[in-house]
Amino acid sequence: MRITENTRTKIFHLNMLALLFGLLIVSLSVKGQDMGADERKSMDKTNYAGLKGAGKGVSGPGSNLSPEKMQWWEDQKFGMFIHWGLYAIPATGEWTMFNKKIPAEEYAKLAGQFNPQHFSGAEWAKVAKEAGMKYMVMVARHHDGFAMWNSPASYAHFNSWETAAHHDFVKEYTHACRKAGLKVGIYYSPLDWRFPGYFNPKGLPENAALLKKQTYGQVEELMKNYGKVDILWYDGGWLAHKGGDADAAWFWEPLKLNGMVRSYQPDIVINPRSGMVGDFETNEGNAPVKGPIIPIPWEKCLNLNGSSWGYNTAQRLMSVKSLVDMLVNTVDRGGNMLLNVGPDPDGVIPPTHVARLKEVGDWLTKNGESIYGTRPGPFQPVDEVYGATYKGNMIYIHLLKLPAGSNEVKLPPIAQRVVSCKVLNGQKVNFKQDKAGIIFSIDPRLLDSVVTTIALKIKR
């Protein structure tokens, strides 16, 4: 039989108790090549112990999706984040303009050099598909203010249509996603460093009003002109690089903003960085995910290249082992993983990045059954040893490594009877089940060099 509703309820309450006690400790320690103090604060404001910031922000009737409408998003598990813009030219990260204190007029000259000749949304989608990703999120506009689409609402015509590229990159990206069968996500930053009023909205109200007008106009363009958009990923909702996104709700009026969003895209999934309570929570950075299952929708976003999110000539790629470990550690705790790449100034994802993503895709080709469409449990993860997911009458154990000095793995008891145990798509594994729990032993020669998946079939 299937895992019972009573069992699920017990798991939920145990998980919530663990969450409230903050047993999940994630330290966001990634340091980009030229990361300044404010850039680090931007990342650190999503630091959490048990996602302690969950639920912060304003909310109202209809502002959030129902759990039923969130199911598809929770099924996806793995997506591609894409940071690409003018900052690819200096190749020192997406915060280059602010960190290097480049005046807006000087930085704007990069738009005259930005004319990618080999950009291909179809190629991006192909790379994502081969990596086993199910959705994509493209940065449509980062904090530097340069819009990657035909944006009449863009202040001072600072967009890719009205400058050298004369190209609507968002249009081609969204079309390529849908054609490849991938869900479409768009990142948008209300923050724009070109506006002094962002840093002093009460002291410079007229300039701040221009910024807010641009935000509303551009978000409407993105929601109105590009067909069905599945995910809206805000960033930079905080004001003057201080406090959190929820602290700036008085300025952005996110219920009004996202009410407009849902008038065009009623079922869009929205993250929490506009000052409104999000449909899912976010955690940013490459630090390990540890602790118990998190019983709310959440997403881990991190960067394939540890040097920066935007294109960087300094390369510090995560290994395939660390990537798959992060993926299973996230999924085993109920989250999705959004993995970032930074295409070069010509719009090309670096070949070394493509090759590394393909390695992850190869693992998912063999083990994806244990990832996609699953839910975490019924066993709580044991840090650096194993975690579990389930679907139908199958339980999947992601074995990171065997316990020291043993070939045996001990699991807690469950009410259902296990009828078979094997390496997923491989050989049978000896096991024993009694009132004390489940023990299986595995020949080390059967272990995957990355992460081994053990499939337990339970009686219906």
Over 70: is that where the pLDDT of 176 sits? yes
Q: Select from 90, 143, 145 the least CA-distant residue to 114.
A: 90
CB atoms within 10 A of CB 250: 12
DSSP codes joined into one string, 77-130: -EEEEE--SGGGTTTB-TTHHHHTT--HHHHGGGGGT---SS--HHHHHHHHHH
CA distances from residue 456 to 7, 368, 394 in whole angstroms, order as listed: 17, 15, 6
Supply the pLDDT for residue 79. 98
Q: Select from 88, 92, 89, 83 the least CA-distant residue to 302.
A: 83
Average pLDDT over residues 414-443: 96
Contact 423, 381 (CB under 8 A): no
Which position has the higher pLDDT, 26 or 354? 354
Q: Select from 91, 100, 106, 193 the least CA-distant residue to 141.
A: 193
DSSP codes joined into one string, 298-362: EEEEEESBTT-SS-BSS--BPPHHHHHHHHHHHHTTTEEEEEEE---TTSPPPHHHHHHHHHHHH
52-110: pLDDT as tens digits? 556 789 999 999 999 999 999 999 999 999 999 999 999 999 999 999 999 999 999 99
Q: How is residue 422 written in tokens?
A: 């094997």
Supply the pLDDT for residue 51. 58
pTM more than 0.75: yes
Share of the chain above pLDDT 90, in %: 86
Phi, psi of 301 (to 5 degrees): -110, 135
Average pLDDT over residues 294-322: 96
> Binning pLDDT at 50, 70 and 90, where does residue 27 land?
very low
Contact 378, 390 (CB under 8 A): yes
Average pLDDT over residues 346-361: 98
CA distance 390 to 396: 6
In our burial notation (b when 16+ CB lie closer than 10 A, e otherwise), range 95-109 reads bbbbbeebebeebbe
Over 50: is that where the pLDDT of 25 sits? no
Share of the chain above pLDDT 70, in %: 89
Q: What is the DSSP letter of 263?
A: H
Average pLDDT, the chain: 91
Over 70: is that where the pLDDT of 17 sits? no
Average pLDDT over residues 327-354: 98
CA distance 31 to 40: 8
Longest dimension (CA), the chain: 71
